[in-house]
A and B are shown apart, each in its own frame.
Chain A
Amino acid sequence: MSTPSRLAGHAGAVRKGASGRKTVTFGDASEVKGSPLWSVASLLFVAFVWWWIKSGTEPMINDRTFPSMRQTWDAFFELATDGYRRVSLWDHTWASLWRVLKGLVYGVIVGVPVGFAMGLSNRLRGIFDPIVELLRPVPPLALLPLFIVWFGIGEGSKVNLLFFAAVWIMVIAARAGVLGVRGSKVHAAYSLGANKWQILRYVILPNALPDIFTGMRVALGVCWGTLVAAELTGTTTGLGAMIFAASKFFRMDVVVVSIIVIGVIGVAMDLVMRFLERRLIPWRGKG
């Protein structure tokens, strides 16, 4: 048998930021914030591998398969100044961005009201449910042949395809936003004299904004990913078109530049959305 231990103490504690002097950090999610140092190291490692596979007089991988960093940089410089096939890199990028933005905006304009309707009315939920559930899992590219026939091979089919990619995400997001409204908030508003329209405008809409914003972030990412594939045919502008044209001439340097630009812009768009979210809906998660 053990004797009861005596507990004695003399303590002072200073709180230093979030991490202070915690002894338990493994499994404490608030302690895991990433480490910029390691992120830089990770990028440097990727760069090193790239340099290594192309180093020496007889590199492991030839230029037809993958360009060197130097060639990629030159290609980037060339694209940025002279452009590819007389269209500058910025015009290609802008063409792609513009299509994505149009598709997203149309998706929001149609998707949000439909999602609201589905969250507010049994009948409308019944009407839209089978349509949404059936079309939501269809990969947008599967519809490209139809869209080309319907909307032409140019801008029309591309923007519509992106709209198709965005709209279901927005429907689901808006519906989730409506369903997430606390009953007591709606009750409180009614007791304060609000009518149905005012409940929708001043309670349900602001309450659903965080979910709608999340939907827009997801939709933007999905559209961006769909776009490059959509640009493979029927256009000479856009990053996807640039990749496709370059691949025909084995310009792998141009292909790689496009890929990097696509990735960087994807990250940039997400950062912009996060910034807007912090500015526009600071109350997210604070209800």
Chain B
Amino acid sequence: MVYELPKGGSVQALHDVSFELEAGRLLTLLGPSGCGKTTLLNIIAGFLAPTSGSVTLGGDPIRGPGQERGMVFQQGALFEWQSVAQNVAFGPRMNRKKRSETNELVQDLLATVGLQGFGDKAVYELSGGMQQRVALARCLANDPEIILMDEPLGALDALTREKMQSLILKLWQETGKTIVLVTHSVEEALYLGDRLFVMAPRPGRVEREYELPFAAKGLHVDPREMKASPEFIEKREELLSLIWEMEEQIMGHDGGVS
């Protein structure tokens, strides 16, 4: 899988971003607001066309949205007029798959994300965390090659968020999908990413890259323990000061802390 993403423009949302991501990796994109991480994700998803450069998936250039690239949004992207099961079945239905096969798939996926028995509920009857589980299942229903997540856990409370992080790790390891996940949370980026880009603003660019061991261990070690381990804390502090510095530069030296 190859990505090359140089992009210019009057406002340089992204400048000279180029990278390759092997299949089956989980890449997290971390950075202060305005660093272009969502722009990058939208280019990969095909919602935006880069002003220069190109993105390819398995050698084929990306020209628009497609179902080989699944998308999970922060919230509000579920179809509230449909039940949980209908939401999950949306992709197969658009592809005119057989109803019986789809029903079976939907039941499997609901079980995978821990929502068995919730198929007939209305989406708005579920909590925020459960809604994101539906969004994950809906995305998996089309069996995409790569899953793009735009701050999927950003709207959840801290406890739910930790549970959902474990679910994302589990899905990643069980399905072997490639995942690109945008997040604001340093801890999340470290815990989930087996690769991590720290992005910087003005112009949006990849400031630093990390290869991380935590995601691979994630399922065998207790998440709380992992996040309390010295290596994890060390990396966390390193990233925090890096991002803190960027924020200071953005705000100007007098604007930051009063």
Contacts and interface: CB of A to CB of B under 8 A. Distances in A.
Contacts of A194: 90, 94
Contacts, number: 76
Contact of A187 (B73, B94, B141): B73
Interface string B121-151: 0111000000000000011011000000000
A285 B210 CA distance: 43
Q: How big is the A interface, by class? A: 20 to 34
Given A188-B73, A191-B45, A193-B91, A209 B79 contact: no
A21 interface: no
Interface string B56-71: 0000000011110111
A274 interface: no
B19 interface: no
Given A187-B47, A193-B94, A206 B79 contact: yes
A286 interface: yes
B146 to A, nearest CB: 11
A282 interface: yes
B176 interface: no
A209 B82 CA distance: 13
A185 B79 contact: yes
Contacts of B90: 189, 192, 194, 202
Contacts of A185: 76-77, 79
Contacts of B211: none
A191 B65 contact: yes
A188 B67 contact: no
B126 to A, nearest CB: 11
Interface in B77-132: 77-82, 90-91, 94-95, 122-124
Contacts of B71: 187-188, 191
Given A188-B73, A192-B94, A194-B94, A283 B45 contact: no
Contact of B122 (A189, A207, A283): A283
A182 to B, nearest CB: 6
A187 B78 CA distance: 11
Interface string A194-218: 1100100011001101000000000
A287 B69 CA distance: 24
A283 B123 CA distance: 9
Contacts of A286: 80, 122-124
B81 A192 contact: no
Contacts of B94: 189, 192-195, 198, 202
A183 B77 CA distance: 8
A198 B90 CA distance: 11
Contacts of B122: 282-283, 286
Given A187-B47, A188-B73, A283 B124 contact: yes
Residue of B78, B90, B95 ringed by the most chain A CB atoms within 10 A: B90
Given A192-B138, A193-B91, A193-B94, A184 B76 contact: yes
Nearest to A182: B76
Contacts of B73: 184, 187-188
A159 to B, nearest CB: 32
Contacts of B74: 184
Residue of A184, A198, A286 ringed by the most chain B CB atoms within 10 A: A184
Contacts of A191: 45, 65-67, 69-71, 139
A52 interface: no
Interface in A206-249: 206-207, 209
Contacts of B141: 192
Contacts of B142: 192-193
Contact of B77 (A182, A202, A209, A283): A182
Contact of B80 (A187, A202, A283): A283
Given A192-B67, A193-B91, 17 more contacts: A182-B76, A184-B73, A187-B45, A188-B73, A190-B46, A191-B66, A191-B69, A192-B70, A192-B138, A192-B141, A198-B94, A202-B79, A207-B81, A283-B81, A283-B122, A287-B76, A287-B80
16 contacts: A185-B77, A187-B47, A189-B90, A189-B94, A190-B46, A190-B65, A192-B90, A192-B139, A192-B142, A193-B94, A194-B90, A195-B94, A281-B81, A283-B122, A283-B123, A287-B80
Interface of B: 45-47, 64-67, 69-71, 73-74, 76-82, 90-91, 94-95, 122-124, 138-139, 141-142
User: What 4 A-B pairs are tightest by C-beta distance, nearest first?
Assistant: A286-B124, A193-B67, A190-B65, A192-B91
Interface of A: 182, 184-185, 187-195, 198, 202-203, 206-207, 209, 281-283, 286-287
